[in-house]
Amino acid sequence: MLITLSLETPAGDALVDITQQVKDAVADSGVESGLCAMIAPHTTAGITLNSALDPATASDILADLRRLVPTRVDFAHQYDTPADAAAHIKASLVGNSISLAIADGELAIGWSQFVMFCEFDGPRRRELQVKIIAG
Q: Domain map of the chain by residue range?
A: 2-134
Q: What is the DSSP letter of 82?
A: H
Q: Give pLDDT tens digits for 39-71.
A: 999 999 999 999 988 889 999 999 999 999 988
Determine the CATH number of domain 2-134: 2.60.120.460
C-alpha to C-alpha distances, 100 to 9, 26, 62, 79, 107, nearest whole angstrom: 23, 11, 23, 34, 7
What 3-state DSSP class applies to 84?
helix
Q: Give pLDDT tens digits for 69-88.
A: 988 777 777 666 656 788 99
- In angstroms, the CA 69 to CA 116 distance is 20
